[in-house]
Amino acid sequence: MAEAPISGAAAYCQYGWEETAFATESASLDKAFGKDVKVTINPRMPYKRLYGLGSPEAVAAVALGYEGNLTIEFTLASSYFLKGVFGTVDDGGATPFTHTYDYNTGYTTTSMSIEVGFDLDTDNVYKFLGCVVDSCVISGKVGEEVKVTLNIKYANETKATTGLDAEPAEDAETPMTFAQGSLEIPNATTIARVDSFTLTIARNAKMLYGLGSRIPSAAIWLNTAFDFSLKSTYENDDFIEDFYGQTTGPYTATTPAGNGSLELTITNSGAGALERSVVFLMTTTYFEAVSKKASSEEEVMQDIVGFCLGQTSVIGSDNTETTP
């Protein structure tokens, strides 16, 4: 019988933390990123064409360093994936239990093994090794679920035609929506009628190569950047004055003091054992652009783009004692 095409309904994605060494397959590929997962696999096999005298055409090609890239998109349901964004997690508290995400000592990377399986006539099971988060984007819009996009670099991969998981990992938590969120700038001052928001955490991962192999042998995180954007109704002058650095026009100095902290809260509004939330508390904010559009056919909205210097705390809360 001829082989037939499939849809994503015949695929799955799951992951595990690499416990022993970078790019060494995790012993437990039993974790789910979230609900409604979408995966994009983009490896590159860079070649260099070599030319010689006497002809306009290439005479040979050499293979350079292998480059692996994955994009994982999903609906936010739990905070556990943030261990792969920051590096470490400290579990504590009780009903709800808290999961505090922070940088590894020495800012070393925390790597994952990710498995993507396809139920074909002849199955294909891919295992991506040495997966390190390059950036994390968390976004929400009125009337939609809260979405997460992880851009990941990986060192190596294997492909097998056996080993398809008959019961792949699934996130047991209920997805969170925009209606379950709030945004405060500064902290404790809630912004009214936010239409959409995006928080981008760029870890700037770099794969490291050594003599003797085209496959990366290590990975590091470079500098970290926290960028945000939001759209809200135009109701007062707060944002434009924060943008100016004063009340009447742009601040003339090149080093303004910046504004207060930013707090993004996504919660199911539960209490005690029923509470689930993810709270990002960021440090000093700076507004890089504030734009408005006025039309008699719609409300006046303002778009704000800015960044935070760093993070004070990133905490997930739920009824699971230990981060999977």
The model's pLDDT over 195-217, given as tens digits with 9 standing for 90+, comes to 999 999 999 999 999 999 999 99
Least confident piece of the model among 113-117, 277-281, 296-300: 296-300
The model's pLDDT over 118-177, given as tens digits with 9 standing for 90+, comes to 999 999 999 999 999 999 999 999 999 999 999 999 999 999 999 999 999 998 888 999
Is residue 155 within 8 A of residue 215, CB to CB? The reply is: yes
Span 33-42, mean pLDDT?
94
Radius of gyration of the chain (CA): 23
Distance CA 316, CA 324 (A): 13
Beta bridge partners of 80: none
φ/ψ region of 269 (left if φ > 0, alpha if ψ in -120 to 50, else beta) reads left
What pLDDT was estimated at residue 1?
A: 43
What pLDDT was estimated at residue 2?
A: 56
Distance CA 67, CA 295 (A): 47
Span 61-68, mean pLDDT?
94
Q: Where are the domains of the chain?
A: 8-166+173-318
Pair of tokens at residue 141: 């819009």
Distance CA 76, CA 276 (A): 11
Pair of tokens at residue 267: 């919660």
- Confidence band (pLDDT; 50, 70, 90) for 301? confident
What pLDDT was estimated at residue 238?
A: 81
Of 22 and 256, the structure prediction assigns the larger pLDDT to 22
- Confidence band (pLDDT; 50, 70, 90) for 59? very high
Whole-number Cα distances in Å, 89 to 82, 149, 251, 278:
8, 20, 40, 13
Amino acid type, 292: K
